[in-house]
């Protein structure tokens, strides 16, 4: 099977406009067999959650376009002294004013708005990278659980064969009068129970196929099995190097981007300290004398700085809070990374001890127990115990390998880079 965590794999952040490739080697896959690379490809292309980023980005770009606009112009028409009484009756004394008005922004407001929009777009891009990694991390974990269940299916097949062999041997001994009918019935019950466990695992595999398929928006799986190696881990990088990468990951960089966003918002808010200059220019026509005059008006709000002081304090407080959020997030990520790193090492150590020492010893013990039982030197219970101990050790080996890879996925999600080298 394909080694999931190959030394040659790499990660690239590409969301919508780019392509994200997690640490997995790409190769042609057999028909009806799903590799992790193919699952990632389908997820990036069809995942409904990731496609929502497209519309969010369009909204932010629209906001940036609006922010770059200068104040608009207004065309006004004002009529005075119409529809009155006496000398003002009708339109005889009407005064009509046609005017053009706008606002001159003070305090560099337009540049500040553009800076906020640009900073908001940067926050979005980093957030999109972090959330895409989360989705692909969940997909990878689901894929590993699927491989784990496939290995458990293989083990259940082995357990069924061992049970059938035991039942056959006990039946032969019973025919010779060397075993009781009770032992035959117990052996037959074990065969049935092994079949039940295998059937349950098959149902679990079908459920996991549905779980995987939903990541690319499908309700019916189009693959029959998963391709990958659950028992290859690679050589990991030092913990200190991994933590340095966590500091540069999208999950942390998004706080630096938020800091820049708050700085831009603060500049925009402070720009409101300068009141905008409103101007109006027009022409007034006097119906009674048929004369025309130019009109000009200018206005500026008073006490803008004092009225804006509260808003400046609010944005400044939010800006200062981001730094503490970043520190807290980094501490949490440090804890998660250390736990995942330690658990991975621990599970790999357990797996290796089971594979190199425990399981070979138990396999030899089972062989010796079978021979001794056949010669009448050991009891039925001894064979059962030896068989169950071997199966239990193999189950523990599968679980240890699975846990090691799941923790490896967490590490790669936190660092946004491959763990092994």
Report the chain (421 residues): mean pLDDT per 10 consecutive residues.
Answer: 37 34 38 86 89 85 86 83 59 75 83 87 89 92 96 97 94 87 93 96 96 92 92 87 90 86 81 82 78 85 82 86 89 93 96 97 95 88 95 97 95 82 48
- Give the residue from 361, 357, 377 showing the smallest Cα distance to 369: 377
Q: Which pLDDT score is estimated for 244?
A: 92
- Give the residue from 402, 419, 416, 421 showing the smallest Cα distance to 136: 416
Pick the CATH number of 72-104+274-307 from 3.30.60, 3.30.1300, 3.30.1330, 2.60.120: 3.30.1300
Q: Which pLDDT score is estimated for 152?
A: 97
**Where in the chain are the domains?**
33-70+105-273+308-415, 72-104+274-307
Q: Which pLDDT score is estimated for 86?
A: 57
pTM of the shown model: 0.80
Between CA 276 and CA 281 the distance in angstroms is 16
Helix axes 239-247, 250-271, angle to 10 degrees: 30
In the sheet where 74-80 sits, what is the strand order?
A: 74-80, 95-104, 277-286, 291-299
Q: Which pLDDT score is estimated for 179?
A: 84
- Only one residue has tokens 């989360």, namely 134
What is the CATH architecture of 33-70+105-273+308-415? Up-down Bundle (1.20)
């Amino acid at each position: 099977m394909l080694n999931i965590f190959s030394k040659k794999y790499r990660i690239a952040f590409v969301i919508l406009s780019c392509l994200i490739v997690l640490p997995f080697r790409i190769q042609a896959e057999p028909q009806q067999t799903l590799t992790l690379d193919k699952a990632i490809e389908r997820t990036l292309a069809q995942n409904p959650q990731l496609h929502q980023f497209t519309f969010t980005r369009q909204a932010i770009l629209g906001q940036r376009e609006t922010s770059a606009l200068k104040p608009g112009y207004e065309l006004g028409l004002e009529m005075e002294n119409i529809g009155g009484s006496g000398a003002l009756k009708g339109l005889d004394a009407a005064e009509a004013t046609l005017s053009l008005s706008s606002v001159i922004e003070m305090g560099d407001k337009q540049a500040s708005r553009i800076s906020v929009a640009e900073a908001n777009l940067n926050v979005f891009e980093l957030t999109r990278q972090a959330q895409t990694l989360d989705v692909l991390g969940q997909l990878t974990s689901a894929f590993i659980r699927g491989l784990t269940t496939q290995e458990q299916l293989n083990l259940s097949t082995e357990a069924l064969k061992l049970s059938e062999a035991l039942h056959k041997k006990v039946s032969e001994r019973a025919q010779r009068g060397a075993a009781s009918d009770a032992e035959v019935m117990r052996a037959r019950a074990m065969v049935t129970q092994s079949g039940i466990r295998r059937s349950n695992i098959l149902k679990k595999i079908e459920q996991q196929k549905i779980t995987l398929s939903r990541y690319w928006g499908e309700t019916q799986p189009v693959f029959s099995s998963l391709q990958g190696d659950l028992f290859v881990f690679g050589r990991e990088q030092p913990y200190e190097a991994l933590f340095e990468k966590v500091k540069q990951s999208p999950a942390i960089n998004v706080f630096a981007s938020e800091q820049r966003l708050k700085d831009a918002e603060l500049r925009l808010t402070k720009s409101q300290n300068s009141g905008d200059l409103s101007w109006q220019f027009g022409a007034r026509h006097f119906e009674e004398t048929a004369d025309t005059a130019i009109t000009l008006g200018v206005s500026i709000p008073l006490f803008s700085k004092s009225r804006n002081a509260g808003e400046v304090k609010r944005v400044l407080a939010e800006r200062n809070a981001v730094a503490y959020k970043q520190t807290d997030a980094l501490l949490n990520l440090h804890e998660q990374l250390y736990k995942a790193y330690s658990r991975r090492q621990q599970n790999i150590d357990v797996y290796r001890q089971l594979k190199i020492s425990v399981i070979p010893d138990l396999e030899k013990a089972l062989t010796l127990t079978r021979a001794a039982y056949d010669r009448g030197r050991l009891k039925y219970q001894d064979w059962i115990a030896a068989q169950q101990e071997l199966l239990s050790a193999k189950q523990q080996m599968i679980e240890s390998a699975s846990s090691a890879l799941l923790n490896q996925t967490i590490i790669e999600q936190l660092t946004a880079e491959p763990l092994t080298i």
